[in-house]
Amino acid sequence: MSLLFCTRPARYLLLLAFASCAIQPELAVVDGPITIATWPFGRFANEQAMQAFADGRSRLDAVELGIREIERRSSDGSVGLGGRPNAAGYPQLDACIMDGPGHRAGSVAGLEGIVHPISVARLVMEKCRHVMLVGEGARWFALEHGVESVDVSSYEPQKADWQRGRRPQDPDTRGHDTITLLVRDADGHLAGGCSTSGAGGKVPGRVGDSPILGAGLYVDEEVGAAGGTGIGENIMRHCGTYLIVELMRQGMNPQAACEEAIHRMAAKDPRGYDLSVSFIALDKRGRVGAASSSQSFPFAVATSAGNQVLSVEKVTPR
């Protein structure tokens, strides 16, 4: 059965194997801060986030610092400027951040030459009257606010070649991972963030699920938060994370909600379960869940007691 991460009252860590099934166990409540992040490299994001909490910093600091670490590492070639380039040969980055209290959010997409897009997304949320900025305008905004950047003049020949139709014949289209980080602070407030370089070999200007609220990330202060990773088109067409949060609102625990979302997506999609999507979720009580449509999915969970990588097998079709 599916049995999750437990600390009570965060004095010890009990890690039990995940297996996808229809059983909805009574999941333990976690006291104190808790973070959950996608993929094994998510443990580095958790580490920074938990250190931020230990230092007395805010939940938004925890999200930003955690994701900045993965952007810095360009983990798995799927995050940050070291991530996979688009089909024209240069990186375009997406990110968003969302805070439970006040239902605030900021997002950037198609961002070029900015080292930490998550920081720009937070600035959009806190310093801009809009929610989402894209492309050249997002870069201008980042530069106006002094965010670390690199020279993008080397992109110009690649852009010119693309516009003239001189395009790479076999762009590397492998890879589509994302760092998604969900946190709950010591007071029970929720926040989350996403960052990615997007699908490898994507058409210039392509935007996936990661910066789209309700697709790659959704946070509801009353209920919980959810985040996605995988093929963004297959998440955004179903508003995957919004669906998970609404299922939790209806009474499902995070594990059951993640699994049910995939079942519903598969029932409507011509691809069935061959969607290549995975989800994580965290509710107000500190319970966590994860599910994957078509592969085993490792993710990382941390409390003040420890930081571990767990794994869930793909859901069983029904």
Which residues does the annotation mark as catalytic? 178
Among candidate residues 279, 217, 216, 226, the one with its CA nearest the CA of residue 248: 226
**What 8-state DSSP symbol labels residue 276?**
-
Among candidate residues 39, 114, 35, the one with its CA nearest the CA of residue 278: 39
Size of the chain in residues: 318
Distances (CA, A) of 46 to 120, 175, 181, 252, 259: 20, 22, 8, 25, 23
Instruction: Give the integer Cα–Cα distance in Å for 136 and 152.
Output: 11
Sign of CA dihedral 145, 150, 152, 155: negative
Among candidate residues 176, 183, 238, the one with its CA nearest the CA of residue 212: 238
The position carrying tokens 């202060």 is: 221
For residue 176, the one-letter residue type is H
